[in-house]
Homo-oligomer: A and B are copies of this chain.
Amino acid sequence: MGSETDRAVRRDALENRRRILEAAREAFAERGVDGTSMHRIGRAAGVGQGTLYRHFEHKGALCSALLSEEIEGFVQEMRRRTEGRGPALGRLKWFLGWVARFNEQNGPLLGAIRDASAGGRRVELYGNPFYERLKNTVLELLDEAVGGEEVSPDLDVECLSDTLLAALNIDLYLYQRHQLGMERERIVAAVRSVLEGLRVRE
Give residues in A with beta carbon < 8 Å to B: 34, 111, 114-115, 118-120, 122-123, 125-127, 155-156, 159-160, 162-163, 166-167, 169, 171-172, 174-176, 179, 182, 186-187, 189-191, 193-194, 196-199, 201
Contact = CB atoms under 8 A, between A and B. Distances in A.
A118 B194 CA distance: 29
Contacts of A198: 193-194, 197
A163 B123 contact: no
Closest CB pairs A-B (n = 5): A197-B197, A115-B118, A159-B190, A163-B167, A126-B175
A125 B169 CA distance: 13
Given A162-B172, A162-B176, A115 B119 contact: yes
Counted per complex, copies of this chain come to: 2
17 contacts: A34-B120, A111-B122, A118-B118, A122-B174, A123-B175, A123-B179, A125-B171, A126-B171, A159-B187, A160-B193, A162-B167, A162-B176, A163-B191, A194-B194, A194-B198, A197-B197, A197-B199
Contacts of A175: 122-123, 125-127
Given A163-B167, A166-B166, A194-B197, A189 B156 contact: yes
Nearest to A116: B118
Given A166-B172, A198-B197, A160 B190 contact: yes
Contacts of A111: 122
Contact of A156 (B125, B155, B190, B197): B190
A171 B115 contact: no
A163 B190 contact: yes
B122 A193 contact: no
A114 B125 CA distance: 13
